[in-house]
Amino acid sequence: MSTADRTPLPIEPSVLIRQTERLAADLPGLVETVYARAADALAAAGGGPWSRVCLVGDGDSYHAGCAAETAFETLAGLPCEPQPAQRFLGYHLDVVPEGPRDTLVVAVSSSGRTERVLQAVERARARGITTVAVTGRPASPLARAADAHIDVSLTDLERSPGIRTYQASLLGLLLLAVRLGTERHGEDRSRGLRAELTALAEPLAATAQALKEPCVELGRALSDAPVIAVAGTGPGEGTAQYAAAKLVEGAGVMACGRDLEEWWHVERFAAPLDMPLVVLAPPGRAQERAADLAIRAAALGRRVAVVAPAGDALRFGPDVTVLPVRGETREPFSPLLYHVFAGHLAFGLAQNLGRRPFQGHRPTGPALV
């Protein structure tokens, strides 16, 4: 067989829609199963207690960690620090106290083969630090290398920018946070939190449906943009980073995910003045600031879209495009609803630009090197 015969067929943009529309169906079957696996993994890793958590990953896995940080700090009551794997290896690992009872290192990789994440686990264990892997491949090198692993695998996967796999990794982290909080808050609270997560399936399906048409239309409107910024804060900052990654991977559009206030402090001065900005404004501690920033950015001439509860649409006025989210949840769980727009928007951009995910429309593009 020639090399050309072994080259995978390009991925079509429609996969972004299919993956997004599967999110709601995936969720209910994962919650109790993954929670039980998280409990088993913590027991196998020694049971704690730990004084802090470090979440390590690259790409979507790092973004999931950033989105889950608030859950560990508010639901489990543990200081939490998300780290890209290279930064953890080069700059953080050596200052983590040795021994199994101080820091729990949670390494995330859907494939279980991300090189730097695997190295992070190996080096942490060599220093006596407890490690737990969150992975969609329970027989992977990462699962074998960690003290224990949490299986977040899915069925019927297809080649795609990570959308279903991102939700599975994020859910695994949220459920791990819930489990770590059980000792402090009791099983009744844990049971209630899991019920909240399961109940998100209905608003998740409604949100995916409500966002499809406006996101595809927004993709058409923004297809001339040289760069798109996505801004959020708290758990929304991780969601913003993830969403920007989907625009890059899915449509080849340069995008960046930023903290709300950092965007206002720096990027609002960038040209061109109509550069698009997508603002995440879920209910929570920063919602008022997010809404105010969106309105003020539009007044500066930016093309602004805001991902916000459907009932908030009238507050933004005609100069801001509202991408409606159906249903509400507590702020630590909000990333499960507020990342849904990303696949639809990436599809709209790719369709209008004539592109395929991972530069598959270019025979010499990065995906084939």
- The structure's pTM equals 0.95
- Predicted confidence band at 369 (pLDDT cuts at 50, 70, 90)? very low
181 and 249 fall within a common domain: no
- The residue range of the domain holding 65 is 3-199
pLDDT confidence bin for 48, thresholds 50/70/90:
confident
Q: For residue 7, what pLDDT is reported?
A: 62
- pLDDT, tens digit, 9 for 90 and up, residues 122-145: 999 999 999 999 999 999 999 999
Which tens digit of pLDDT belongs to each residue from 270-304? 999 999 999 999 999 999 999 999 999 999 999 99
> Given this model, what pLDDT does residue 366 score?
67
Examine the domain organization and report whether 300 and 178 are in the same domain: no
Average pLDDT over residues 161-168: 98
Q: Look at residues 151, 166, 199 and tell me which one is the last residue of a structural domain.
A: 199
What are 205-221's pLDDT values in tens digits?
999 999 999 999 999 99
CATH number of the domain to which 48 belongs: 3.40.50.10490
Per residue, the 3-state secondary structure of the chain, as one string, reads CCHHHHCCCCCCCHHHHHHHHCHHHHHHHHHHHHHHHHHHHHHHCCCCCCCEEEEEECCHHHHHHHHHHHHHHHHCCCCEEEEEHHHHHHHHHHHCCCCCCCEEEEEECCCCCCHHHHHHHHHHHHCCCEEEEEECCCCCHHHHHCCEEEECCCCCCCCCCCCHHHHHHHHHHHHHHHHHCHHHHCHHHHHHHHHHHHHCHHHHHHHHHHHHHHHHHHHHHCCCCCCEEEEECCHHHHHHHHHHHHHHHHHCCCEEEEEHHHHHHCHHHCCCCCCCEEEECCCCCCHHHHHHHHHHHHHCCCCEEEEEEHHHHHHCCCCEEEEEECCCCCHHHCHHHHCCHHHHHHHHHHHHHCCCHHHCCCCCCHHHC
Range from 30-34, 56-60, 235-239, 354-358 carrying the lowest mean pLDDT: 354-358
Looking at the structure of the chain, the number of domains it has is 2
Do 240 and 187 lie in one domain? The reply is: no
Q: At which of 199, 225, 260 does a domain end?
A: 199
Same domain, 216 and 78: no
Mean pLDDT (the chain, rounded): 95
Same structural domain for residues 195 and 212?
Answer: no
